[in-house]
Homo-oligomer: A and B are copies of this chain.
Amino acid sequence: MAPIREMLAETGITEQQWRVLRVLSEFGVLDAKTLADRASLLFPSLTRIVATLRDKGLVTQTRDQKDRRRQFIEITDAGQKIIDDRADEAAQIVAEFKATLGAERYETLLDLLADLDPGARA
């Protein structure tokens, strides 16, 4: 993950913050529960990360009016721009990583890790 962190250093956001933004970018508006699940984060971590992203203007929080315990989180244009600007670069880093192992061994690794963590989504 080091190369990813280096890439993100310029943007001032962390790996996990980036992951949250990516999930929001992919799935759109999400309630906190679903977001935590998709980003593989525990709730207390998510609370802090979303607070940080909100302060940076990269996401918005909205209370569910039908159930005021819940909230929805949505990515802002500024947040989306960060994802867009780095998407290609991130893809290339993953590609290089893959090349280091070789495509076949890369797939093997993903399979092994998936078997070890039933919670992950391949």
* B112 near A105: Cβ-Cβ < 8 Å: yes
List residues 98-114 of chain A with CB under 8 A from any CB of chain B.
100-101, 105, 108-109, 112
CB nearest to A106 among chain B residues: B112
CB nearest to A97 among chain B residues: B116
Looking at chain A's contact residues, is the secondary structure mostly helix, strand, loop, or mixed?
A: helix
Contacts of A105 in B (CB 8 A): 112, 115
CB nearest to A115 among chain B residues: B101
CB nearest to A113 among chain B residues: B109
| Residues of A in contact with B, size category | under 10
* B100 near A108: Cβ-Cβ < 8 Å: no
List residues 68-122 of chain A with CB under 8 A from any CB of chain B.
100-101, 105, 108-109, 112, 115-116
Q: With A and B bound together, what is the CA distance between A116 and B109 in angstroms?
A: 11
CB nearest to A102 among chain B residues: B115
* B115 near A112: Cβ-Cβ < 8 Å: no
4 interchain residue pairs of minimum CB distance: A109-B112, A105-B112, A101-B115, A108-B108
Between A and B, 12 residue pairs with Cβ closer than 8 Å are A100-B115, A100-B116, A101-B112, A101-B115, A101-B116, A105-B112, A105-B115, A108-B108, A108-B112, A109-B109, A109-B112, A112-B112
